[in-house]
Structure 1
Amino acid sequence: MFHGSIPALVTPFKNGAVDRDAFVALVERQIQGGSSALVPVGTTGETSTLSTQEHKDVVTLCVEITKGRVPVIAGAGANATDEAIELVEHAKTVGADAALVVCPYYNNPNQDGLEAHFRAINDAVAMPVLLYNVPGRTVVDLAPDTVARLAQLPNIVGIKDATGDMERVSQHMAAIPEGTQFVQLSGDDPSALGYLAMGGMGCISVTANVMPEACAAMHKAFHAGNLDEARAIERKLIALHKAMFCSPSPGPAKYALSKLGLCTDEVRLPITAPSAEKRAEIDQAMALAGLNA
């Protein structure tokens, strides 16, 4: 099952188009940095402003570069169930290891609608699926009881929980029948260490785009029982975790990567690049984390 530090990869742009060369370099950097898996075209990958073809091309490219060295969890969410199924089918066809499917956004479905959405995906494609609950973006919240019912489906293997509510780990565990294979991953960098302590297995991370080695080391230290080391690493990263959201994401991550010479800081509207004031905040956080760009 999935574990450890898993970057939600940015999609680099150059002159408005996907920068394939930069993406290849970013993927290689993540693998060399110890990341446990990769998530292309998630929220941080600006999937909402990629065309369907661009989305599919980035997933395909990620699988081709990775060559099985680490699992690829392809972003495959949509607010239309049929479209989500199409993206999951594509992910399976090109060889991704799993799909990350966000709760439908804008539609504002109730729990019955959310459950029916994920059941339809489970029934349509024989592929591991991670639920993705991020109420701050989707407006809807996937309730623990709904998660527990979905966890019993054969293709639903886990959740990315970006609520920042560590209580959810225990709520899910209490509601899901013992022996069920279901992995819980945080989607909130600042609370990731606490999430691990509650029983989570890893984090789908924004910060890992910028500091893959440190993020991977924190998870490895925790799982090895070296809690003091994990805490020490987390203290160095906490300002950077916060800075990654000082301006609409992934603007800060792309700015930080541009400072490191790894890609441009281009984002697509309606996301805009961080202001001068926010860039200074990111610079300071990078310095505190030991990055001298």
Structure 2
Amino acid sequence: MALSPSHPFGRVLCAMVTPFTADGALDTDAAAALAVRLIADGCDGLVLNGTTGESPTTTDAEKATLVRAVRAAVGDGVPLVAGAGSADTRHSLELARAAKAAGADGLLVVAPYYSRPPRTAVAAHFRAVADGCGLPLLVYDIPGRTGTRIDPGTLVELADHPRIVGVKDCSYDLAGASDTMAATGLAYYSGCDELNLPLYAIGAAGCISTVANAAPGAVLAVRDAFDRGETGTARRAHRRLGPLTRLMTGGELPGAVAAKALLGVGPVRPPYQPATPDEEAALRTAYAGLLTGTG
């Protein structure tokens, strides 16, 4: 699809898992194959080295290697956004530059975690990464993991930066997202699958979906129906995704664990643990129900 400032990386991107071999090493062949399948199944682009990509447990070298492998597999026309966030601004800059050199088109940068810097320091962090790399950047607002909310006022300030182009929103604050979209030109991407349709309905660019690892067609069907003006169809498609979405992103089972249980692309790295047999059975039942229309 044609890209634009309103959806700079497309509309439906998959937050892709990072495949590992049976002994836990990075599996670039499996990553390449998965990336090709996701694009063939309709995803506009891919987000690598994010939360679902288990970025806290991959090395800097592995992150760059993954971007290079996926870029070689999907070619130059597919938007690739690479996670480049850390608790250290200097390290984030290093990750951003490495991602650019490996072939990324954009960056996903989370708020600095653990240290919980004040508002002005959070803004300075994002500006430093945007200034130091040259790639367009999505601000990743996920306070449930970082302990730091990127408040709407900060986002309005950051919107003045020419390379800060959007937000991956996991704030669960629809009112704040709506206000920020109204006040800025930032492209909002839902980062919580259960809110993909609500955010899209109030003006979001699209979504960065964990569920799309397993069911890209079903995620795309919601967007496509809404774009056609078939809001009832979109609502029903969104609700059909509900059981699988709740199991993959809405409970205690981390998205990476759930997606890998369905995809069979290797183990997760500790501290994650694999899905139990009961958890995997529930996932497969929800997935089968989605495919057959009985879920």
TM-score grouping bracket, smaller chain normalisation: over 0.9
Residue aligning to 1:206: 210
Q: Encode CA deviations 1:5-58: one digit per residue, 9 max, x unaligned.
A: 211000011111011121111101111110011101111000100011111111
Residue aligning to 2:34: 26
Residue aligning to 1:217: 221
Supply the distance in 2 between the matched residues of 1:110 and 1:93 (Cα, whole angstroms).
Answer: 31
Q: Encode CA deviations 1:61-118: one digit per residue, 9 max, x unaligned.
A: 1222121232111111111101111111122223311111111111111111110101
**Structure 2: which amino acid aligns with 1:155?**
R
Task: Please tell me whether the aligned partners of residues 8 and 205 of structure 1 are also in contact (alpha carbons under 8 angstroms).
Answer: yes
Residue aligning to 2:279: 278
Of 244, 263, 268, the residue aligned with 2:248 is 244
Runs of 4+ displaced beyond 4 Å: none
Residue aligning to 1:98: 106
Tell me which moved more, 147-156 or 82-91: 82-91
Residue aligning to 2:135: 127
Of 232, 253, 258, the residue aligned with 2:259 is 253
**Structure 2: which amino acid aligns with 1:18?**
L
Residue aligning to 1:75: 83
Of 234, 237, 244, the residue aligned with 1:233 is 237
SS in 2 for 1:73: strand
Once the two structures are TM-superposed, the CA of residue 220 in structure 1 deviates from its matched residue by 2.1
Task: Please tell me whether the aligned partners of residues 64 and 102 of structure 2 are also in contact (alpha carbons under 8 angstroms).
Answer: no
Question: How well do the aligned residues superpose, as a CA RMSD in angstroms?
Answer: 1.5
Tell me which moved more, 119-128 or 154-163: 119-128
Supply the distance in 2 between the matched residues of 1:4 and 1:53 (Cα, whole angstroms).
Answer: 29
Residue aligning to 1:108: 116
Once the two structures are TM-superposed, the CA of residue 291 in structure 1 deviates from its matched residue by 6.6
1:3 is the counterpart of 2:4: no
SS in 2 for 1:34: coil
Q: How does 1:152-171 map to 2 (within 5 A)?
A: 152-171=160-179
Residue aligning to 2:289: 288
**Structure 2: which amino acid aligns with 1:236?**
R
**Structure 1: which amino acid aligns with 2:260?**
K
Supply the distance in 2 between the matched residues of 1:63 and 1:110 (Cα, whole angstroms).
Answer: 36
SS in 2 for 1:290: helix
Task: Please tell me whether the aligned partners of residues 7 and 35 of structure 1 are also in contact (alpha carbons under 8 angstroms).
Answer: yes
Residue aligning to 2:4: none
Task: Please tell me whether the aligned partners of residues 2 and 201 of structure 1 are also in contact (alpha carbons under 8 angstroms).
Answer: no
TM-score, normalising length from structure 1? Answer: 0.92
SS in 2 for 1:222: helix
Residue aligning to 1:12: 19
Of 186, 189, 200, the residue aligned with 1:196 is 200
SS in 2 for 1:132: strand
Aligned identity (percent) is 39
Supply the distance in 2 between the matched residues of 1:187 and 1:29 (Cα, whole angstroms).
Answer: 21
Once the two structures are TM-superposed, the CA of residue 217 in structure 1 deviates from its matched residue by 2.3
**Structure 2: which amino acid aligns with 1:97?**
D
Residue aligning to 2:72: 64
Supply the distance in 2 between the matched residues of 1:124 and 1:110 (Cα, whole angstroms).
Answer: 21
**Structure 2: which amino acid aligns with 1:227?**
T
**Structure 2: which amino acid aligns with 1:202?**
G
Residue aligning to 1:45: 53
Task: Please tell me whether the aligned partners of residues 67 and 103 of structure 2 are also in contact (alpha carbons under 8 angstroms).
Answer: no
Once the two structures are TM-superposed, the CA of residue 231 in structure 1 deviates from its matched residue by 1.7
Q: Which runs of 5+ in 2 are unaligned?
A: 1-7
Tell me which moved more, 87-96 or 107-116: 87-96
Q: Encode CA deviations 1:117-141: one digit per residue, 9 max, x unaligned.
A: 0111122122100000111111110
Task: Please tell me whether the aligned partners of residues 211 and 259 of structure 2 are also in contact (alpha carbons under 8 angstroms).
Answer: yes
Supply the distance in 2 between the matched residues of 1:206 and 1:159 (Cα, whole angstroms).
Answer: 16
**Aligned length, in residue pairs:** 283
SS in 2 for 1:204: strand
Once the two structures are TM-superposed, the CA of residue 186 in structure 1 deviates from its matched residue by 0.5
